[in-house]
Amino acid sequence: MKYDEFVARVRERGEYPDPYEAEQVTRLVLGVLAQRLSADEAEDLAAQLPLPAGAWLTEQRGPAAAFGVQEFLDRVAMGVGATGRTAQWDASAVLCTVAEAVSGGELNDILSQLPSGYAVLFGRASLSG
């Protein structure tokens, strides 16, 4: 998937008024996701995403932090200055697009590092098949 197509899909899913807003939300959500993944997994995911989206996963990497879905959504909400409900909408717009853009094996690798509550943000009830 090319970057412009990736942003267009996030924009459509999130019903954002312009590509700039879709890009900003994408950068934020991927940045929060990167905080939750191991460095190796963030690099593997980045390799399957178009640039610059892939690069946003590997910027300022540190050790993976262990936080649940609610903390993930709180971090997204703080970043966009929105409510938790809006943060869930934003996260799903980006992460469902990520799920479309990567292989099923990579998606399973990501979800295996996260508690089960994250799968729904990627548009999955559980691990993909």
Domain encompassing residue 7: 3-122
Predicted local confidence at residue 128, as pLDDT: 43
Would 60 be classed as within a structural domain? yes
Q: Is residue 114 part of a domain?
A: yes
Give the ranges where 1-129 is alpha helix by DSSP (H). 3-14, 19-36, 39-48, 53-56, 69-80, 84-101, 104-112
Residue 127 lies in a domain: no
Residue 129 belongs to some domain of the structure: no
The answer as to whether 96 is a domain residue is yes
Query: Residue 102: CB partners within 8 Å, gap ≥ 6?
Result: 45, 48, 49, 110
pTM assigned to the model: 0.92
CATH classification at residue 78: 1.10.490.110
Residues 61 and 114: beta-carbon distance below 8 Å: no
The pLDDT of residue 129 is 41
Digit-coded pLDDT (tens) for 35-86: 999 999 999 999 999 999 999 998 867 778 889 999 999 999 999 888 888 9
Nearest residue to 95 via CA among 28, 19, 3, 35: 28
The rounded distance, in Å, linking the Cα atoms of 113 and 80 is 25
Q: What is the pLDDT of residue 84?
A: 84
**In a domain? residue 51:** yes
Is 43 a domain residue?
Answer: yes
> What is the Cα–Cα distance from 22 to 43, expressed in whole angstroms?
22
73-125 pLDDT tens trace: 999 999 988 888 899 999 999 999 999 999 999 999 999 999 878 999 999 87
What is the number of structural domains in the chain? 1
Q: Is position 22 within any domain? A: yes
Q: Are 109 and 37 in contact (CB under 8 A)?
A: no
What region, left, alpha or beta, does residue 116 occupy, with left being phi > 0 and alpha being psi -120 to 50 degrees? alpha
